Structure formats: C-alpha cells, structure tokens
Amino acid sequence: MKQFPLLLVLVVFGSAFSCLAAGRGAGIPKVKPEDRICMALYTTCNDVLKMTVQFYPLQEGESRTVFLKINKGAAWKTVAETRITREDYGNKRKDKTWTAHFRVNGWDMTRDWRYQVRALNGVAVYEGLVRRDPVEKNEIVVAVFTGNSIYEGHGGDIPRTDLVENIKKMNPDLLFFSGDQVYDHKRHLGYWLRFGRDFGEIIRNTPTITIPDDHDVGQANLWGASGKVAKTGAGPDGGYFMPAAYVKAVERAQTWHLPDPYDPTPVQQGIGVYYTALTLGRISFAILEDRKFKTGPEGLVPQRGPRPDHILDPDYDPKSVDVADAVLLGERQLTFLNEWAKNWQGADMKAVLSQTIFCGGAHVHGKIGGRLHADMDSNGWPQTGRNKALAAMRRCFAVHIAGDQHLATIFHHGIAEWEDAGFSFCVPSIANLYLRWWDPLVPGGNRQPGMPEYTGRHFDGFGNRVTCWAAANPSQEINGGAKLTARAAGFGVVRFNKESREIIFECWPRNVDIQDPGTQQYPGWPKTIQQADNYGRKAVAYLPPLHIKGGENPVIQVIHETDQEVVYTLRIKGSSYCPKVFEAGTYTVQVGEAENKKIFSGIKSTGLNQNKSIEVILE
C-alpha cells in the first residue's frame, strides 16, 4: 500500500476511545421474571463440566436458588444446585454480579447432553446443549473473535446477526473471544448482558472461552503488574485502576467457567488468576493472561514520545528498553507453559490462546498519518519476555491465536533467526472503530512471488524478527462493501486437521454469507501451515531415526543431556521419526507416555544420512 506522511500520532488513552461514548445498550433493560436468564457459558475438560449462568438483576424476595438439569429420555434429572451470587462490582452504579456457577465432576463427555437451567422457582427456564468431546473428528474448528466495540459513532452499535448466522452455518467446535467483549469502563454488567443478548444463541450450545482484556476491566491499556493499584485509567505505571472488586467481578463473569487454573494463587489485591489448559477434540489449548503480570513502562524505561508507552523515534536503541526488571508473562505462567508443552495426554496438536500476539503488529495507529514506531502495549515488549514465551511455545510446536490489535495479521516469528519459532494469527475486531495498518517503510525481505511489499521479513519496532504473511489493512479499494467491512472488521477461523497435521487460518469480513461462492476472505487468507512450521528452527544435526512398533502416533521427547533441558515434545503422526536437534551433543530420547514409555540415553547427534536407527517396541 502507499506510504503515509508522518503526522502527529493521536494522543488517546490506549487502543481505542470508545469508552468516551457508550452508545445504546448501556442501560440494563427490565425483563420479565421468565426472561431473567441472559446466557450460559460452559466448558468440559477431564470429565468436569463448568458453567456460568449470567442473570439479569433480580428483585428483592425472588429466589436465589438455581438448578442444572440434564435430559435423560423423557425426564429431566437435576445434576447440580447452586445460589446466584450478588457480589459488588464496586462501581458507582452499585452493580451486582448476578451469576450462578455450576461444577459437575464425573461428567460424561462421550455424548451430547441437553441441559436446562431452572430458576425463580421454575419460572425462568433456559435450555441448551452441552456437546460431547469430538475426539473422533478429523478437523476441529475454532471460531475466534475480538474487539466487540459498541460505539454507534463508528458503526459499532449494529446487530451482530451476520456473525451469529455465519457461525451457525459453520458450526464450530469451540468459540474463543480473546478480549474486549465490553468496552465501557464503568458498566461491565450492562454491556456483558448486551454481549449475552448478541451472542447467547451460539454460546448456549457451544463450548466457549472468554478472557477479559484491558477494556473489560475498565481501563484503556493494561499492564497488570501482578495486581498492584494503577494511578490512572491509562495504566502505563502498571496495575489495575478500577477497584479490585470490579476486576474480580469481571473475571468471575468471563472466566469462572474455564477449567481450573494451573496455579490459583491470587495476585495483589486478592485478584485471581485463570491461566489454564483445555483439551477439546484432541487439540490442547493453553489459555494465557498476557497482561496480568506484565510490567508497566512508566518510570522503568526512558519516555520517547508523548506517552510512556509510545516510541516515536525510529533511531532509538531497542535494547535500551529491554531492561532486566521488565516482565511479560511472569515466571508462574512460563512454568505453566513449559509443563503444558511436555504434557500430550489426549492431544494430537497444540495451540496457545491469549489476548494479543508477541510482536509489534502495526505501524499506523488511529488514522492515516498516525505512525508509531513502537507500542509497549503490544507484546513485542519486553523483548526478553517475548522470546521466553515464544521459546516455550515452540517446544511443543504450538500455534498462537489472539486478537486485540484491531488488525488481522499472520506472522511467523523469529527469536535468534528468521522463522525459528511459531506462527501467530491475530483476528480482526468485531467492530473496528480504531484503525491500524501494517505498513513498513521498506519492502519485506524474502517475499514469495506476487506477495505485497508489506509481507516478508521485517523487524518490528523493538527489533524482533517477524515474517508477515498477511495483513487485512483497512482500504476502501481492497476491502470495499459495507461500513464495518471497509474498516477491516470481521472474525477468524482456525481449522486443525489431525490427519494431515495442517492448521488453516481463515479471515472473514462482516456482512457476508460465508456459504455464498462469491464471498471472499480478506487478501492473504486462507493460509495453511504445517504443525512442524511452529518450530521452524533449522536443524544443526539429527539423532538416529526412530522406528516404533506397538504405539499409535507416539509422543517423542528430546532432552539435551548437558543441561537436561527439554528441546521439544511432540506427538508424531505415524511410526517413524528422525529427531532434529539444534546443536551437536548427546541427548536422551523418550518414546511413549506414562507407563508405556521407553528411554534411550547417551545418543549422539550426527548428520542426516545415518546408517544406524533405533528400533522401539512399546507394549
């Protein structure tokens, strides 16, 4: 695309200014008692069902008891009973949570279950479907959303009917809302109920992951700094600006239904955590909290722009901001990621879900001319933390799926070399009121024939290696169509093919029919990668080929004996595998899982063409 003149960047709080005008839907409508149940979100994992039921406010004297029933033949059987919460948000409106939470152990995940939520002494009844775990399906489909702005001045306050109808046609196995489900900074409850009215029809029948981002918890940007108190809603000093009660209420509504957290220890102010793992259809998903532990830049690094988090000087030294005290995921989440990477129980492929991607994924912010060299709200900073995260993810060949940036992109990330880590897919916003462009000033290196100049190899504003494969830059000429389509809004789809070990990225605009043969995705999509591409590091040497009998698609783990570091763990496809390694040395190779495992130590690396192989017999 053409280059834009350098103008003053928009000085706004964070990635959007939708919080300045609420638009319609801010109020909580009065509903009849029989309609007091707004939505139900659920997940199942390891034979545990967890469900959050969101209610409209109840009146004094109305029953707080709620029952969860499942259909067995012609009868409904009660499987759980709970009470509706009435915890304070701590905001001026004095909102309450009005949520009911069900946890059912020993859930039969091998079949579909029709469920019914009954409340208000049976007056309010809500029904849906808890789906079976689709382990037998070859293709697992995930629909991905971000940025649910409802700001009528930018076309945001329009029906979500097109999205819902397309998702019903697609019938995905999992829904993932990566953040900013709510943009109002003081009235989460009202807008969360609006979210339920918009998407409840598909959520009630589909496993759903929702994770809050900065706007959900009431601030423009979020560097959570392990839960400390922030001085302003802009947030660059780190921490949370809204009362802890507000943050906890948001997380109770949006994340309680996720599988139990890996380590539930709260951070400061008693704010909880939710990072965890979910396995569905033999795809293992790590769910991260990108920003809860992340350090704020204010006072930590020199300010090089009108804001502590914006760097406008293209000649600054990126190493100067990669300071030792800067944290990204934090040690707790890194420990989780590394342990998750080694655990392949019930999984064929792996993916990481989080708020945003690990690079600076845009150059122009807010409007044409709003060029920004580097944005510390992106996970391109701090670089050391970014590299640790990518290194942990590539140890299990995991792809990264996220949102937040408003701009859909596909990047192949590099740490020490180009493409030596994994791919990320950032999906477009549902309503893209705050525009961004990926518009590097120099053409990308190593581009494929016919690819746009903005693709290929680049350094982001923090000096991180990124290879761009696609960017849905806003453009009337390219994107055309209705208002939100022209603003590059839409949703993403990720397809995991377990037989071929392919991952397919799709990026769909708003206001289209995905079943219409004439409907096109954004330029650059669909994009297909191989699972192995997510550890694109080039081999320096190889270990002897493994020929395995007695185990179907076994797990292979390679350990460097010098420091006992796990190089990678992977469930292979088939019965033969030649492990690559990245430095000469001696290695331990484990084949199989749990009790059915064989360990081979003292294996020396050599070249690819080897006369010797290792025969492995699993019981």
Angstrom distance (rounded) from CA 537 to CA 210: 32
284-304, pLDDT tens digit by residue?
999 999 999 999 999 999 998
Angstrom distance (rounded) from CA 264 to CA 244: 17
572-611, pLDDT tens digit by residue?
999 999 999 999 999 999 999 988 999 999 999 987 766 6
Angstrom distance (rounded) from CA 321 to CA 299: 11
Residue 27: the pLDDT is 81
* Identity of the residue numbered 321: V
Helices (H), 482-619: 483-486
Angstrom distance (rounded) from CA 309 to CA 314: 14
Complete DSSP assignment for 495-511: EEETTTTEEEEEEEESS
Work out the pLDDT band at 26, boundaries 50, 70, 90.
low
Residue 609: the pLDDT is 67
381-391, pLDDT tens digit by residue?
999 999 999 99
Residue 222: the pLDDT is 97
Q: Map residue 207 onto helix, strand or coil.
A: coil
Q: Name the token pair of 369.
A: 């001319």
Query: What long-range pairs does 230-233 form, CB within 8 A, spacing at least 24?
Result: 230/296, 233/13, 233/185
Work out the pLDDT band at 3, boundaries 50, 70, 90.
very low
Beta strands 65-72 and 99-105, pairing class:
unpaired
Q: Name the token pair of 74.
A: 């012609």
Find out whether 605 and 588 touch, Cβ atoms under 8 Å.
Answer: no
* Identity of the residue numbered 401: I
Residue 245: the pLDDT is 98
Angstrom distance (rounded) from CA 139 to CA 372: 40
Work out the pLDDT band at 485, boundaries 50, 70, 90.
low
Q: Could you tell me which residues come within 8 angstroms of residue 222 by beta carbon, excluding any fewer than 6 positions away?
A: 213, 214, 235, 240, 291, 294
Residue 434: the pLDDT is 82
Average pLDDT over residues 230-259: 97
Angstrom distance (rounded) from CA 129 to CA 168: 14
149-202, pLDDT tens digit by residue?
875 544 556 789 999 999 999 999 999 999 999 999 999 999 999 999 999 999
Angstrom distance (rounded) from CA 108 to CA 93: 41
**Short-list 340, 338, 470, CA closest to 410:** 470
Angstrom distance (rounded) from CA 332 to CA 338: 10
Residue 305: the pLDDT is 86
Cα–Cα–Cα angle for 198, 204, 209, rounded to 5 degrees: 85
Find out whether 495 and 506 touch, Cβ atoms under 8 Å.
Answer: yes
Find out whether 605 and 584 touch, Cβ atoms under 8 Å.
Answer: yes
Residue 611: the pLDDT is 65
- Number of CB atoms found within 10 A of residue 231's CB: 13
Angstrom distance (rounded) from CA 517 to CA 99: 42
Average pLDDT over residues 510-531: 96
Angstrom distance (rounded) from CA 435 to CA 365: 6
User: How large a percentage of the chain has pLDDT more than 90?
Assistant: 86
Instruction: Give me the residue spans of the domains in the chain.
Output: 33-130, 134-215+273-535, 541-617
348 Ramachandran zone, left/alpha/beta (phi>0; psi -120 to 50): alpha
Estimate to the nearest angstrom the gap between the alpha carbon of 88 and the chain centroid.
Answer: 28
User: How large a percentage of the chain has pLDDT more than 70?
Assistant: 92
Average pLDDT over residues 25-47: 92
**Distance between first and last Cα of the chain:** 58
Residue 73: the pLDDT is 83
Residue 5: the pLDDT is 33
**What pTM does this model have?**
0.94
Kind plus residue range of the DSSP H or E element containing 468: strand 465-471
- CATH hierarchy code of domain 134-215+273-535: 3.60.21.70
Estimate to the nearest angstrom the gap between the alpha carbon of 436 and the chain centroid.
Answer: 19
Helices (H), 396-555: 476-479, 483-486
Q: Could you tell me which residues come within 8 angstroms of residue 408 by beta carbon, excluding any fewer than 6 positions away?
A: 425, 426, 427, 428, 470, 471, 472, 488, 490, 492, 507, 522, 525
One fold for 33-130 and 541-617: yes
In terms of CATH architecture, what is 541-617? Sandwich (2.60)
Estimate to the nearest angstrom the gap between the alpha carbon of 459 and the chain centroid.
Answer: 23
- Residue 445 backbone dihedrals phi, psi, to 5 degrees: -85, 155
Q: What is the CA radius of gyration of the chain?
A: 24
Angstrom distance (rounded) from CA 616 to CA 555: 12
* Identity of the residue numbered 105: N
Work out the pLDDT band at 484, boundaries 50, 70, 90.
low
- Half-sphere exposure (CA, 13 Å, Cβ side) for 242? 27
Residue 367: the pLDDT is 73
Q: Could you tell me which residues come within 8 angstroms of residue 483 by beta carbon, excluding any fewer than 6 positions away?
A: 155
Angstrom distance (rounded) from CA 579 to CA 564: 17
Residue found by looking up tokens 């996720």 in the block: 258
C-alpha distances in Å from residue 104, one per residue of 287, 372, 591, 615 = 21, 49, 35, 44
Residue 197: the pLDDT is 97
**Short-list 429, 390, 425, CA closest to 409:** 425
Residue found by looking up tokens 């004439």 in the block: 518
In the predicted model, is pLDDT for residue 477 greater than 70? no
Q: Could you tell me which residues come within 8 angstroms of residue 547 by beta carbon, excluding any fewer than 6 positions away?
A: 575, 576, 613, 614, 615, 616
Q: Map residue 597 onto helix, strand or coil.
A: strand
Angstrom distance (rounded) from CA 55 to CA 46: 27
118-127, pLDDT tens digit by residue?
999 999 999 9
Angstrom distance (rounded) from CA 161 to CA 545: 53
**Short-list 193, 101, 83, CA closest to 148:** 193
C-alpha distances in Å from residue 243, one per residue of 87, 89, 141 = 13, 8, 37
441-457, pLDDT tens digit by residue?
999 999 999 999 999 99
In the predicted model, is pLDDT for residue 23 greater than 50? no
In the predicted model, is pLDDT for residue 21 greater than 70? no
Find out whether 314 and 460 touch, Cβ atoms under 8 Å.
Answer: no
Angstrom distance (rounded) from CA 93 to CA 253: 17
In the predicted model, is pLDDT for residue 422 greater than 50? yes
Find out whether 539 and 585 touch, Cβ atoms under 8 Å.
Answer: no
Residue found by looking up tokens 């709200």 in the block: 377
In the predicted model, is pLDDT for residue 74 greater than 90? no
Choose the weakest-confidence range: 44-53, 135-144, 248-257, 599-608: 599-608
C-alpha distances in Å from residue 178, one per residue of 5, 175, 403 = 33, 10, 6
The CATH superfamily assigned to 33-130 is: SOR catalytic domain (2.60.40.730)
Angstrom distance (rounded) from CA 524 to CA 534: 19
Indicate the DSSP class of residue 33: G
Residue 96: the pLDDT is 97
